């Protein structure tokens, strides 16, 4: 009997061998179930070994094979590579590819009813209502029909028995409509056409290549990559395309653009899907039928059969980095996946990451530049408002300069966007009486005041309490006071200044779910909002034609914290936000309030000098040997007590292998020292670029024997320094 080497989606160190009994069609990549311990479990056949591999061994047998086509060899290689790179168990990575068990079986079916031409012998009011509903709605389940008609489900059965309704069994999960590449897209400008041609040629050639579409906000990057998608659809009837987007909020607007261009909605993949939607997308992808998938970072682990093109929109976005479980950066992983698949990767951004820019300059990525917005639309003028010279009034947050501009904008019948990346009313609550700062118990995390809900909330742990009437420390009544601004507080200020203006807040608190988000976006597009006050959720993707003023309330907030990418991230975020202004015929401007107008990020913003800014960033990182000129990895330890975590840290540092050029910093308390009752310490490891830091970390962790309650995780290329 041949031998199947099966990987299970479990944290096991290696795959296991099973015998393939006669009559079972098992291939490399087959999804199978096999006995493991007391249960039969789902696994994937990594490879099929000849009969000789089983000689002299007693092997358990594969129990069953799922009807899904075998996972491609490129995908299996990708899983093993990703596990090695991220220092994770291969089974953990496989688990990310198997996020929907329901997708392994054919679609469930349901019974639907439709009206026939036969009239029932006996007609009642309920029956008439039901037949009307059936004619209006077409084939539907008994519950949908009876609910629509406002009658009991028994009426459906009665009519079916009488021959007036016909029952039919249909699949509940339908395939996605095939996209049509030949519908008309935008008429491209010369610059756009040149970029699109370069992509199309590469797609047609069908060999691995990486591109960067480096184009100012609104320059038509989406229109350009649409042409690459169209070409990939045409080039091969089985090709599949993955489009990664950073925010689910964004997918709403972009889904309609896909529909308009390709006449079909792409298959979605993100954490907000229902089980049924998830199962449907997974099944269609794994069977090679879903041609275009649009999703969040985790879509990169879907088992495409023939992935030919990957688009990563807003490639610089921090949300591509997964911080829990298997930590990975979807952009970097996508490039590797494309290499294994012989596919094309297209990164798109107005503010590419320094890593990406360096890759473009060394020729690893091909850069396609879009320098202008098409038509009359032009980039906004950005001015810094020096808060040291003209500060807001005490306990206010808007400077006279910004207020004046907002009033002008309102008078002109145009819209203002105020950007402040802080949810809630005030980021800190203190007691006027005793000076106590309210924190989440057992941690150093401040509580944020939310006035709409009347609660104090920890944005790190999710801990939340109703705002106390008295200080929990000294008991003084009515002494708790919010310090600093959040979007709710700025909204309060605007309401007083401009009582006639229509004001809304756009943050993850006010826009929970796609519908609420779409509501705000629609009202803004229709001009029903005069001043929108938003967190970073407003920064991306939206086109508001009547928005001509962007005010950045506190440009300095992202610069604190000493993280290596703080300046870069601030520049990216603020130029994205500023780019919201003046998208249509009307010119836009952005006013950026700062106490540090001579910070390089602020100066670059005002001068629209991205490349000059990146040059400074690059020099600093090169000097310090930081990414992309060197490598970083982090190890984070946690335990229920400080003593336990410190002892474990000492043991770990004693076990650190020697490595040429490798520096280990720490143990240091992690910036979030206590999280969910666990004390945390971290090591930061730095190496030159040519060192295999994953192998080093794997060798280190293999030596460790940590006591049970101590947990350790490795983060290769850390982005968050929490
Ligand atoms: P980006 O992705 O670079 O921000 P988009 O592709 O979203 O830019 O384009 C910005 C706006 O300009 C969109 O409304 C888009 O439809 C429009 N647009 C882009 N290129 C063209 C073109 N060649 N002709 C007409 N409209 C265009």
CA 313 to ligand 1: nearest atom: 2
CA–CA distance, 626 with 619 (Å, rounded to integer): 10
CA of 222 relative to ligand 1 center, distance in Å? 7
Helices (H) and strands (E) in the chain, counts: 19, 31
CA of 218 relative to ligand 1 center, distance in Å? 6
Cα–Cα distances (Å) from 291 to 177, 205, 239, 281, 533, in that order, read 9, 19, 7, 11, 38
Of 93-97, 162-166, 511-515, 680-684, the least confident:
511-515
Over the chain, what is the mean pLDDT?
A: 91
Q: Please, which residues have CB within 8 angstroms of residue 441's CB and are 6 or more apart in sequence?
A: 463
- How much is the pLDDT for 562? 59
587: pLDDT strictly greater than 90:
no
Instruction: Residue 328: name the closest of 298, 359, 354 by CA.
Output: 298
**DSSP β-ladder status, 678-688 and 630-639:** antiparallel
3 state DSSP class of 658: coil
25: pLDDT strictly greater than 70:
yes
Q: Which amino acid residue places its CA nearest to atom 14 of ligand 1?
A: 543
CB 186 near ligand 1, within 6 Å: yes
Q: What is the DSSP letter of 320?
A: G
Residue 563 burial by Cβ neighbours in a 10 Å radius (0-12, 13-18, 19+): middle
- How much is the pLDDT for 77? 98
- H-helix or E-strand spanning residue 470: none
Bridge partners (DSSP) of residue 450 are 455
26: pLDDT strictly greater than 90:
yes
Highest mean pLDDT among 107-116, 400-409, 421-430: 400-409
CA 137 to chain centre: 36
Residue 156 burial by Cβ neighbours in a 10 Å radius (0-12, 13-18, 19+): buried
Give the start-end residues of each E strand in 108-202.
109-115, 165-171
Q: Angle 140-142-143 (CA atoms, 0-180°, nearest 5)? A: 100
pLDDT, tens digit, 9 for 90 and up, residues 439-495: 888 777 789 999 888 999 888 777 889 999 999 889 999 999 998 899 999 999 999
CB 223 near ligand 1, within 6 Å: yes
CB 576 near ligand 1, within 6 Å: no
Task: Classify each residue of 603-631 as buried b or exposed e, where b means 16 or more C-beta atoms within 10 Å of its C-beta.
Answer: bbbbeeebeebbeebbeebeeebbbbbbb
Q: Please, which residues have CB within 8 angstroms of residue 611's CB and are 6 or more apart in sequence?
A: none
Instruction: Residue 588: name the closest of 576, 580, 600, 596 by CA.
Output: 580
pLDDT class of 615 with cuts at 50, 70, 90: very high
> How many other β-carbons are positioned within 10 Å of the β-carbon of residue 43?
26
658: pLDDT strictly greater than 70:
yes
CA of 223 relative to ligand 1 center, distance in Å? 6
CA–CA distance, 25 with 123 (Å, rounded to integer): 55
Find the Cα–Cα–Cα–Cα dihedral 284, 287, 288, 293, rounded to 10°.
30
- How much is the pLDDT for 245? 92
Cα–Cα distances (Å) from 666 to 635, 636, 649, 685, 708, in that order, read 10, 10, 9, 9, 22
- H-helix or E-strand spanning residue 62: none
Q: Which amino acid residue places its CA nearest to atom 4 of ligand 1?
A: 218
CA–CA distance, 680 with 640 (Å, rounded to integer): 9
More confident residue, 541 or 98: 98
Average of pLDDT values for 413-427?
92
CA–CA distance, 701 with 667 (Å, rounded to integer): 15
CB 202 near ligand 1, within 6 Å: no
132: pLDDT strictly greater than 70:
yes
Backbone φ and ψ of 487, nearest 5°: -60, -35
Decide if 598 contacts 555 (C-beta within 8 A): no
Average of pLDDT values for 7-22?
94
Give Dmax (Cα) for the chain.
Answer: 90
CB 218 near ligand 1, within 6 Å: yes
CA–CA distance, 594 with 705 (Å, rounded to integer): 49
Three-state DSSP string of 431-498: ECCCCCECECCCCCCECEEECCCCEEECCCCCCEEECCCECCCCCCECCEEEECCCHHHHHHHHHHHC
Mutate to test the pocket of ligand 1, among 194, 215, 222, 376 (most ligand atoms within 8 A of CB): 222
pLDDT class of 513 with cuts at 50, 70, 90: low
672: pLDDT strictly greater than 80:
no
Bridge partners (DSSP) of residue 113 are 140, 167
CA–CA distance, 554 with 557 (Å, rounded to integer): 6
**DSSP β-ladder status, 3-7 and 307-313:** unpaired
CB 217 near ligand 1, within 6 Å: yes
CA of 405 relative to ligand 1 center, distance in Å? 28
Instruction: Residue 66: name the closest of 93, 104, 122 by CA.
Output: 104
34: pLDDT strictly greater than 70:
yes
Mutate to test the pocket of ligand 1, among 187, 220, 376 (most ligand atoms within 8 A of CB): 220
CA 189 to ligand 1: nearest atom: 23
CA of 310 relative to ligand 1 center, distance in Å? 20
Decide if 676 contacts 639 (C-beta within 8 A): no
Average of pLDDT values for 551-574?
84
CA 257 to ligand 1: nearest atom: 16
CA 377 to ligand 1: nearest atom: 12
**DSSP β-ladder status, 678-688 and 663-675:** antiparallel
Average of pLDDT values for 623-627?
90
Mutate to test the pocket of ligand 1, among 218, 229, 350 (most ligand atoms within 8 A of CB): 218
112: pLDDT strictly greater than 90:
yes
pLDDT class of 248 with cuts at 50, 70, 90: low
**pTM of the predicted structure, to 2 decimals:** 0.88
CA 215 to ligand 1: nearest atom: 3
CA–CA distance, 362 with 22 (Å, rounded to integer): 54
pLDDT class of 719 with cuts at 50, 70, 90: confident
107: pLDDT strictly greater than 60:
yes
Average of pLDDT values for 98-110?
92
Would you tell me the crossing angle of helices 190-205 and 221-235 to the nearest 10 degrees?
Answer: 30
Q: Which amino acid residue places its CA nearest to atom 18 of ligand 1?
A: 220
CB 374 near ligand 1, within 6 Å: yes
Q: Please, which residues have CB within 8 angstroms of residue 443's CB and are 6 or more apart in sequence?
A: 458, 460, 461, 672, 673, 674, 675
CB 187 near ligand 1, within 6 Å: yes
CA 187 to ligand 1: nearest atom: 23
Q: Which amino acid residue places its CA nearest to atom 10 of ligand 1?
A: 218
Residue 46 burial by Cβ neighbours in a 10 Å radius (0-12, 13-18, 19+): buried
């Amino acid at each position: 009997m041949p031998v199947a080497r099966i990987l299970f989606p479990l944290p096991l160190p290696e795959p296991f061998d099973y015998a393939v009994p006669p009559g079972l069609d098992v291939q490399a990549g087959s999804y199978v179930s096999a006995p493991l311990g007391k249960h039969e479990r789902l696994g994937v056949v990594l490879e099929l070994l000849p009969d000789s591999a089983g000689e002299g061994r007693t092997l358990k047998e594969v129990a069953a094979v799922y009807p899904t086509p075998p996972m491609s060899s490129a995908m299996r290689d990708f899983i093993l590579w990703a596990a090695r790179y991220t220092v994770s168990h291969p089974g953990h990575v496989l688990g990310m590819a198997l996020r929907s068990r329901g997708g392994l079986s054919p679609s469930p079916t349901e019974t639907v009813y439709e009206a026939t031409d036969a009239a029932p012998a006996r007609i009642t009011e309920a029956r008439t209502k039901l037949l009307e509903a059936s004619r209006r709605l077409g084939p539907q389940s008994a519950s949908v029909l009876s609910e629509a008609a406002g009658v009991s489900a028994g009426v459906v059965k009665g009519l079916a028995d009488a021959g007036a309704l016909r029952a039919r069994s249909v699949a509940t999960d339908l395939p996605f409509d095939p996209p049509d590449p030949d519908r008309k897209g935008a008429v491209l400008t010369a610059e756009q056409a040149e970029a699109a041609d370069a992509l199309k040629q590469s797609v047609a050639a069908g060999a691995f290549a990486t591109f960067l579409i480096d184009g100012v906000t609104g320059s038509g990057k989406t229109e350009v990559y649409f042409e690459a998608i169209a070409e990939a659809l045409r080039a091969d009837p089985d090709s599949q395309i993955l489009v990664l987007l950073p925010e689910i909020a964004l997918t709403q607007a972009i889904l309609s653009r896909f529909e308009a261009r390709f006449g079909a909605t792409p298959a979605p993949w993100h954490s907000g899907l229902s089980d049924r939607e998830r199962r449907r997308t997974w099944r269609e992808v794994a069977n090679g039928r879903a041609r275009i998938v649009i999703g969040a970072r985790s879509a990169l682990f879907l088992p495409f059969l023939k992935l030919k093109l990957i688009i990563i929109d807003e490639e610089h976005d921090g949300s591509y980095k997964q911080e829990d479980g298997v930590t990975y950066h979807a952009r970097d992983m996508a490039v590797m996946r494309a290499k294994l698949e012989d596919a094309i990767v297209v990164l798109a951004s107005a503010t590419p990451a320094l890593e990406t820019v360096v890759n473009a300059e060394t020729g690893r990525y091909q850069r396609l530049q879009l320098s202008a917005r098409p038509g009359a639309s032009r980039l906004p003028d950005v001015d810094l408002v020096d808060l040291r010279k003209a500060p807001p009034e005490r306990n206010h947050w808007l400077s006279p300069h910004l207020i004046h501009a907002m009033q002008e904008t309102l008078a002109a019948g145009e819209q203002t966007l105020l950007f402040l990346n802080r949810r809630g009313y005030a980021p800190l609550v203190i007691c006027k009486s005793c000076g106590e700062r309210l924190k989440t118990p057992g941690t150093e995390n401040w509580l944020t005041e939310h006035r709409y809900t009347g609660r104090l909330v920890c944005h790190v742990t999710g801990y939340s309490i109703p705002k106390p009437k008295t200080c929990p420390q000294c008991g003084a009544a009515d002494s708790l006071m919010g310090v600093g601004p959040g979007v709710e507080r700025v909204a309060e200020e605007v309401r007083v200044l401009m009582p006639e203006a229509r004001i809304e807040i756009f943050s993850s608190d006010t826009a929970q779910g796609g519908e609420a988000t779409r509501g705000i976006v629609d009202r803004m597009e229709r001009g029903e909002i005069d001043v929108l006050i938003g967190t970073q959720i407003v920064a991306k993707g939206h086109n508001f034609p009547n928005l001509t003023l962007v005010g950045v309330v506190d440009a300095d907030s992202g610069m604190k914290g000493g993280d290596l990418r703080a300046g870069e991230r601030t520049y990216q975020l603020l130029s994205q936000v500023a780019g919201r202004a003046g998208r249509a015929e009307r010119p836009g401007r952005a006013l950026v309030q700062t106490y540090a107008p001579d910070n390089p990020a602020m100066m670059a913003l005002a001068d629209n000098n991205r490349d000059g800014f990146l040059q400074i960033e690059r020099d600093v990182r090169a000097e310090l040997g930081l990414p992309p000129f060197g490598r970083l990895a982090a190890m984070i330890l946690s335990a229920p007590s400080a003593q336990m975590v410190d002892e474990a840290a000492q043991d770990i540092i004693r076990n650190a292998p020697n490595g040429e050029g490798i520096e280990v910093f720490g143990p240091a308390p992690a910036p979030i020292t206590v999280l969910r009752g666990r004390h945390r310490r971290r090591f930061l490891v730095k190496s030159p670029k040519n060192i295999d830091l994953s192998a080093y970390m794997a060798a280190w962790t293999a030596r460790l024997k940590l006591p049970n309650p101590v947990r350790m995780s490795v983060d290769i290329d850390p982005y968050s320094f929490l």
